[in-house]
Structure 1
Amino acid sequence: MELATPRPPVLDLLRRERLVAVLRGADADALTAATAVLAANGVRLIELTLSSDAGLTALRRVAADRTLPPDTVLGAGTVLTRDQARAAIDAGARYLVTPGVTEEVLAEGVDQGVPVLCGALTPSEAMAAVRLGATAVKLFPAYAVGGARYLRDLRAPLPDVPFIAIGGIALDDIADYFAAGAVAVGVGSPLLREAGTDSSPAALAALAERARAYVAATSAER
């Protein structure tokens, strides 16, 4: 029997792929369909948020889908509690994402050996996240505090912290965030748009086109 090729750690994947798709919505069918389209069009890191029960349902479905590209890496976002972290890991999440410095989620991730991408906005929060075991720090919401310029200033005293910029990132913003030192960008509504609630062929075709554009834009900066 041929052994599966070991997958690289999540931080290495972030540095290599440079793109995380963030899917949020209340329709599990639409989220499941959107995940399949993103994976088929080159998006390797996909985060399904737990802001509704649909996110966990979709995560469980797509984690069991053997037709997805084998290098697709699924994560759970908006993880707020230890119980949510456990449920997400049981459903197939290979990484967890928090909107802020959530100590119990970080502790569960460390206990289970599952990477946590921890939300932070200030130097104190970023330092706390790293101290508690975060694999990377999610700068969120990036656009609301000055975007790439703020990230550049934040990294000046924290040059070794791996930052992922998330929040309102359009295609034209990607080069600026990478120039400011982001290891990756996370993209939610600018990428997903209507595909979070609409799984019609037209909506999925438009999603596929946007996915290819974001993959191309991030690939150009590798």
Structure 2
Amino acid sequence: MDLRAALASCRLLAIVRGGDPDAALRTVLTLAEEGVELIEVSLSGADALTVLARARKELGPGRPLGAGTVLTAADAHAAHRAGAGFAVTPGLGTGVDTALDLGMPVLAGVLTPTDVIAAEARGAAALKLFPAAGAGGTAYLKALRGPFPGAAFVPVGGVDVTAARDYLAAGATAVGVGSPLVGDAADGGSITDLRERARAFRAAVRTGAWAEGPA
């Protein structure tokens, strides 16, 4: 898949991390039903590889589905076997290179200009700016875009509906959203509430100048 193009088109990456594997699977499937096209299952969740494999079986081979928190080469291999089509990392560990070797595009975690240079040199499809809020939010994103105007940044960490709009307006290609979107659904919480949050986020990322075309 062309992960950068998918991020630019969808503008939203949902991050599912839960303590209840069955609830996490329901969360993935519900998000897909609500039109959230890009979903990652974090490997730090309970029995995440099983969740990922079951989600892949339910969604079919053509639906974008990624593995998050890919830290090591072993993580990348396990995610690939479970059916992940792309990998998301919090930093630039060995999982980046192994995922790329396996043919999985990578959304690589970066924070500093040095990280950006290293991630792009290694062939990352896009750059996960993490933790975005702690780094300085939209002001920091704008600062990074100065020397790297062509980079595809995806802020992650503390992104609520308002912040999603702000990051996109500041030039982000997409936003990655975990708990503000998923809430407690992946731990057995309300699916009805999850649907409402999904609709709110989808509306937010479709509205604005960024909706006119891919970044």
Query: What range describes the TM-score normalised by the shorter chain of this pair?
Result: over 0.9
What displacement does 1:53 show? 4.3
**2: CA distance, partners of 1:52 / 1:168:** 18
2:145 maps to: 155
Post-superposition offset of 1:72: 3.3
Aligned residues of 1:139 and 1:164 also touching (Cα < 8 A)? yes
Q: Which residue of 2 aligns with 1:75?
A: 66
Aligned-partner residue type, residue 48 of structure 1: V
Match runs of 1:9-20 below 5 Å: 9-20=2-13
Shift of 1:175: 2.1
**C-alpha distance in 2 between matches for 1:39 and 1:140:** 24
Number of equivalences: 209
Alpha-carbon displacement from aligned partner over 1:127-185 (angstroms, at most 9, x marks no partner): 11111111111001101121111100011011111100111011111222112111000
| C-alpha RMSD over aligned residues | 1.4
Please tell me whether the aligned partners of residues 126 and 137 of structure 1 are also in contact (alpha carbons under 8 angstroms): yes
Residue matched to 1:207: 194
* CA deviation vs aligned residue, 1:177-196 (integer Å, no higher than 9, x gap): 11211100000010111102
**Is 1:86 equivalent to 2:77 in the alignment?**
yes
Q: For residue 60 of structure 1, what is the aligned residue in structure 2?
A: 53
Q: Paired residue for 1:100? A: 91
One of 179, 185, 190 as aligned partner of 2:175: 185
Partner of 1:4 in structure 2? Answer: none
CA contact (8 A) 1:40 1:69 kept: no
What is the aligned counterpart of 1:48 among 29, 36, 41?
A: 41
1: distance between equivalents of 2:205 and 2:60? Answer: 19
1:14-49 Cα offsets, whole Å, 9 max, x none, are 000000000112211010000111000010000100
Gaps of 5+ in 1: 1-7
Deviations for 1:74-100, whole angstroms, at most 9, x for unmatched residues? Answer: 100001111110110111111001101
Residue type of the alignment partner of 1:195: A
Q: Shift of residue 118 of structure 1?
A: 0.5
Asked whether the 8 Å contact 1:44–1:71 carries over to 2, the reply is no
Partner Cα distance (2:195, 2:143) in 1 = 35
1:22 partner SS? strand
- Of 170-179 and 55-64, deviating more is 170-179
Give the aligned partner of residue 134 of structure 2. Answer: 144
- Provide closer, same or farther for how the CA distance between residues 70 and 114 of structure 1 changes in structure 2, counting only shifts above 3 A: closer
* Equivalent in the alignment of 1:116: 106
For the pair 1:217 / 2:204, whether they are aligned, the reply is yes
1:45-81 deviation digits (Å, cap 9, x = unpaired): 001000144221110101001xx48763110000111
Secondary structure of 1:64's aligned partner: helix
1:95-141 Cα deviation digits (max 9, x unpaired): 00110111x22221221221011101110011111111111110011
- For the 8 Å contact 1:74–1:94, the answer to whether it is kept is yes
Q: Structure 1 vs Structure 2: percent identity of aligned residues?
A: 45
TM-score by length of 1: 0.90
Distance 1:96 1:53 in 2: 18
Q: Distance in 1 between matches of 2:60 and 2:84?
A: 16
